[in-house]
């Protein structure tokens, strides 16, 4: 399982998965590492949370730009995956929009759906946020909210929240200018508007129209308070796919975000060998099996043949966009940021471990062994492999201990290490860059003896559970590495995964024995 201590100190959503890889809980966080850590470091959980924690076998995450984006993404993911341990949202509706109607002197209101004509902004992550934005925009620009134009000014005019179009206090041209400015704010395009209003304010002040200047000053202040807008959710009528990728050492690391009607709903990760036309080949393979979206957002333009292929698969034109600024560029940058976190967060862990234990080369392939039994019964061993800092489950192995009677972890470790590397030598396979043993000096010594008997020369360390101490052959004292150091946390993550894998096999054997 991904170690929660290796998560970034950034806002985003975390996804808990069970043994079968099913998403069982989705949560949002201002700080992913701290929030997820709270599940595993606290002990006073309610029964439902305790049940959730016991079912977690893996952690995935999506980094966002702000906590607001994480809130909207969380809502989208919950509705998409309906996780077992989230609140049942099957009867809830999507978050509300703010609507500007299409009529002379447009009215501003809240809308749950887009059934009526008008311009829609949102969705908003909470009723409180939505109402706050509505009230500020309505008051700042004096927009009307009445369903029918009254014949005389109402209370809203007298308390200063409406420009009183009903009374003729404002021309349609002036009112539409206010509507246009309100739209800019609701779209999140506040920067340019603030600059224009600031210039107008100074111009009015220079001609000593201080009342008008103060009115513009108040508008600027209000707009600034609303300018921290999110870009994960946007009011669009079509679906989009955002694809970003990077190429390192002849390998393509690609992230695909699927955006449904303006809301980010899914991410997918792909790794494949780089060659000329590799990305175009990916597009053909992926969209041969998945319907292309209405719009595909890419960091670089594909050739014309790819565009034609996408449109043919879709049955109508697919728009391909390479943005250089704006909301779509922000989403492209967000995908690129997630590539760094998901694929290359492991590089930092590997580099830290190399430095702490003094290896000449980065331990890109690491194998870790653990032993599990219940009072000496159903004794099994496990071996997990991490490649470039991430679990490589294709190379996990499990062992039923055959040469050990009773409780003897030292002998069991010796058996599984011998069996693993004897087979690699026989088949001509590649040895790992580092071997980790779950245990103290005794288990480490047994593993070293097994490697020596085989003539295998591979760096090896062990980790003792109580203080998370790291031991190396030939030294009686543990390495001077603190248990919260990045290198130690990485070793703990690998060890915990080996432990989980071993326990799973041990339980399986005991269940079979009971069933027999």
- The pLDDT of residue 230 is 39
Enumerate residues 6+ apart whose C-beta is below 8 A from 174: none
Q: Where are the domains of the chain?
A: 4-81, 97-225, 240-343, 358-515
Within 10 Å of residue 480's Cβ, how many Cβ atoms?
8
What mean pLDDT is predicted for residues 227-237? 46
What are the tens digits of pLDDT across the range 134-149?
777 777 777 887 777 7
What are the tens digits of pLDDT across the range 308-364?
889 988 888 999 999 988 778 888 888 888 888 878 877 888 999 999 999 999 999
Query: Does the pLDDT value for residue 240 go beyond 90?
Result: no
Indicate left, alpha or beta for 375 from its phi (over 0: left) and psi (-120 to 50: alpha). left
CATH number of 4-81: 3.40.1440.10
Query: Does the pLDDT value for residue 92 go beyond 50?
Result: no
What mean pLDDT is predicted for residues 270-298? 86
Per cent of the chain over pLDDT 70 is 83
Query: Does the pLDDT value for residue 455 go beyond 90?
Result: yes
- The pLDDT of residue 91 is 35
What mean pLDDT is predicted for residues 246-258? 88
Name 367's bridge partners. 385, 435
Whole-angstrom Cα distance, residue 76 to residue 157?
A: 39
Question: Do 4-81 and 240-343 agree at the fold level?
Answer: no
Q: Specify the range with the lowest mean pLDDT, choosing from 151-155, 352-356, 431-435.
A: 151-155
Query: Does the pLDDT value for residue 367 go beyond 90?
Result: yes
> Helix, strand or coil for residue 379?
strand
Beta carbons of 255 and 342 less than 8 angstroms apart: yes
Residue whose C-alpha is closest to residue 124's, from 111, 143, 138, 114:
111
Q: How many CA atoms, within 13 angstroms, populate the side-chain half-sphere of residue 454?
A: 23
- The pLDDT of residue 25 is 92
User: So what CATH class is 358-515?
Assistant: alpha beta
Query: Does the pLDDT value for residue 241 go beyond 70?
Result: yes
| Burial of 49: CB neighbours in 10 Å, binned 0-12, 13-18, 19+ | middle
Rounded to the nearest 10 degrees, what angle do helices 486-515 and 326-357 cross at?
A: 90
- CATH 2.60.40 fits domain 240-343: no
> Helix, strand or coil for residue 391?
strand
What are the tens digits of pLDDT across the range 167-225?
667 788 888 888 888 887 776 666 666 777 788 888 888 888 777 787 777 767 666 65
């Amino acid at each position: 399982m991904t170690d929660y201590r290796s998560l970034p100190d950034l806002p985003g959503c975390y996804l808990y998965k069970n043994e079968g890889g099913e998403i069982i809980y989705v949560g949002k966080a201002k700080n992913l590492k701290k929030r997820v850590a709270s599940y595993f470091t606290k002990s006073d959980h309610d029964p439902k949370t305790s049940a959730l924690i016991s079912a977690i076998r893996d952690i995935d995450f999506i980094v966002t730009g702000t906590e607001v984006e994480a809130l909207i993404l969380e809502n989208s993911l919950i509705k998409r995956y309906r996780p077992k341990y989230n609140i049942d949202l099957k009867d809830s509706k999507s978050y509300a929009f703010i609507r500007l109607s299409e009529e002379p002197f447009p009215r501003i209101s809240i809308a749950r759906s887009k059934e009526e004509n008008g311009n829609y902004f949102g969705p908003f992550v909470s009723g409180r946020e939505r109402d706050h934005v509505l009230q500020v925009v309505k008051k700042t620009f004096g927009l009307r909210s009445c369903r029918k134009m009254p014949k005389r000014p109402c209370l809203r005019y007298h308390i200063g929240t409406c420009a009183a179009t009903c009374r003729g206090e404002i021309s349609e041209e002036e009112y539409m200018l206010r509507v246009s400015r309100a739209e800019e704010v609701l779209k999140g395009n506040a920067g340019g508007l603030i600059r224009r209003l600031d210039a107008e304010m100074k111009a009015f002040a220079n001609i000593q129209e201080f009342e008008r200047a103060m009115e513009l000053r108040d508008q600027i202040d209000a707009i600034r308070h609303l300018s921290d807008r999110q870009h994960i959710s946007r009011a669009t009528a079509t679906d989009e796919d955002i694809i970003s990728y990077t190429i390192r050492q002849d390998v393509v690391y690609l992230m695909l975000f699927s955006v449904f009607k303006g809301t980010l709903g899914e991410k997918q990760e792909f790794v494949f060998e780089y060659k000329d036309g590799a990305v175009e080949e990916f597009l053909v393979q992926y969209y041969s099996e998945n319907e292309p979206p209405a719009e595909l957002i890419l960091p670089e333009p594909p050739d014309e043949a790819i565009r034609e292929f996408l449109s043919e698969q879709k049955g109508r034109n697919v728009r391909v966009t390479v943005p250089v600024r704006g909301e779509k560029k922000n989403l492209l940058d967000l995908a690129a940021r997630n590539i760094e976190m998901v694929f290359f967060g492991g590089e930092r862990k590997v580099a830290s471990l190399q430095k702490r234990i003094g290896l000449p080369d980065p331990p890109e392939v690491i194998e870790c062994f653990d032993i599990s039994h219940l009072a000496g019964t159903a004794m099994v061993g496990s071996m997990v492999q991490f490649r470039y800092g991430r679990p490589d489950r294709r190379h996990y192995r499990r062992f039923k201990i055959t040469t050990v009677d009773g409780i003897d972890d030292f002998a069991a470790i010796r058996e599984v290490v011998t069996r693993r590397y004897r087979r690699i030598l026989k088949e001509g396979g590649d040895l790992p860059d580092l071997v980790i043993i779950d245990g103290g000096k005794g288990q480490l010594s047994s593993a070293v003896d097994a490697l020596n008997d085989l003539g295998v020369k591979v760096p090896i360390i062990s980790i003792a559970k109580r203080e998370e101490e790291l031991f190396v052959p030939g030294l009686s004292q543990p390495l001077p590495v603190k248990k919260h150091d990045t290198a130690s946390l990485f070793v703990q993550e690998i060890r915990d995964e080996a432990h989980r894998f071993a326990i799973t096999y041990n339980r399986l054997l005991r269940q079979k024995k009971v069933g027999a």
